[in-house]
Structure 1
Amino acid sequence: MESFEKSWYVLHTYSGYENRVKANIESRAQSMRMGDYIFRVVVPEETTKEVKNGKEKEVINKTFPGYVLVEMTMTDESWYVVRNTPGVTGFVGSHGAGSKPAPLLPEEINSILKSLGMNIRNVELTLSLGETIKIIEGAFAGLEGQVTEIDDEKHKLKVNVEMFGRETSTELDYDQIEQLS
């Protein structure tokens, strides 16, 4: 089942080794020249506040202990690199004996990524500071604004829009905007 479409897959790992597995996959993808097949590796985490001994502190908990999400194009080579990464016990949705796993459904991964505050659609844009864009989603939908900051890693940008005669800054995901020609 070779697919040349990138999809999200779930890996089962030893509990407590999720971040180490993420680092290992990213390192192996780079060293084995698989960057065109293995794209993003995510360990879903959430931050909660706990009060212990009268002091409040932030605690980071794994949303799915023992699991890591990987966005990849499923080929024999990419499957082999990920499957044989130290700490990975297998793909979820694989029936063993070397069979390829089933990817997550778009609505499943969209829900997970949105809950983590990550960009859902992988929109590729080439933006420049000062460029005027149109906002197509969210509270400022329909307005145009100027790009003031770009964070390609998180697929987010800051845009100044004019409201009530004043400039207002807003942070948007790439999939909430449209480039003007």
Structure 2
Amino acid sequence: MKYYVVHTYTKQEKKVKDILLKTIEQQNLSHLFGKKQNEDGSEEYNIIVPVEHITKFKKGKAAPEAEERKLYPGYLIVQMEANEESLNLVNSIPGVTHILGSKKQPLPLDEKEVEVIVEQIESGSKKLRPEIPFNKGEPVKVTNGPFMGFSGTVEEIYPDRRRIKVIVTIFGRATPIDLDFFEVQAI
């Protein structure tokens, strides 16, 4: 069985996946869709919503929060036999716009493409990647600590440490200060 890309409305990916799973079972079409073996020995349909896990700073909160971000918003990857029955089933799901390729002959993904996507998902699940809320050269205002109220420009970003170097003007001199992400906000 090959993998196909299903285009959905944005932010409908998980809903489409859930409805597709229910519909496959209700219509007894499990033989047309690929399954994968989980670590605990159970099987599940190979329908992938590509996501990564990031840490994100929310306004007003000092500590970062874990969040899921879609790698390819509006897309699912489905392993299936591409025949009239399976294509009609997938296209009939509310929220699905189309399967990539032509209507009668969808375009399958290359095995290497699927491996890369699965690797991205797995590496993102193992290590939370911090979201970088600032860009180099961006004006910011210090909101916490001894330099509170000063404005400056982002000089360096250290995403793994969740810190930035900001150049502020103190007594007419450009002075670099090292701050946590939560101690500054974009202007």
Q: TM class, shorter-chain normalised?
A: 0.5 to 0.7
User: How many Å apart are 1:93 and its aligned residue?
Assistant: 1.9
Aligned to 1:113: 118
Give 1 or 2 for the bigger CA radius of gyration.
2
Gaps of 5+ in 1: 1-5, 119-181
Query: For 2:3, what is the secondary structure of its paired residue?
Result: strand
Deviations 1:57-81 (CA, angstroms, capped at 9, x unpaired): 0010011001111000111111111
Aligned to 1:12: 7
- Aligned pairs for 1:1-150 (under 5 A) are 6-39=1-34, 40-52=46-58, 53-94=61-102, 98-117=103-122
User: How many Å apart are 1:85 and its aligned residue?
Assistant: 0.9
After the TM superposition, which parts of structure 1 deviate over 6 Å for at least 4 consecutive aligned residues? none
Gaps of 5+ in 2: 35-45, 124-187
User: How many Å apart are 1:49 and its aligned residue?
Assistant: 0.6
Query: For 2:25, what is the secondary structure of its paired residue?
Result: helix
Query: For 2:78, what is the secondary structure of its paired residue?
Result: strand
For residues 92 and 98 of structure 2, the distance between their equivalents in structure 1, rounded to whole angstroms, comes to: 9
Equivalent pairs, count? 110
Give the TM-score of the pair, scaled to structure 2: 0.56
Query: As a proportion of its length, which structure holds more helix?
Result: 2
Give the TM-score of the pair, scaled to structure 1: 0.58
Report the aligned-residue RMSD: 1.3
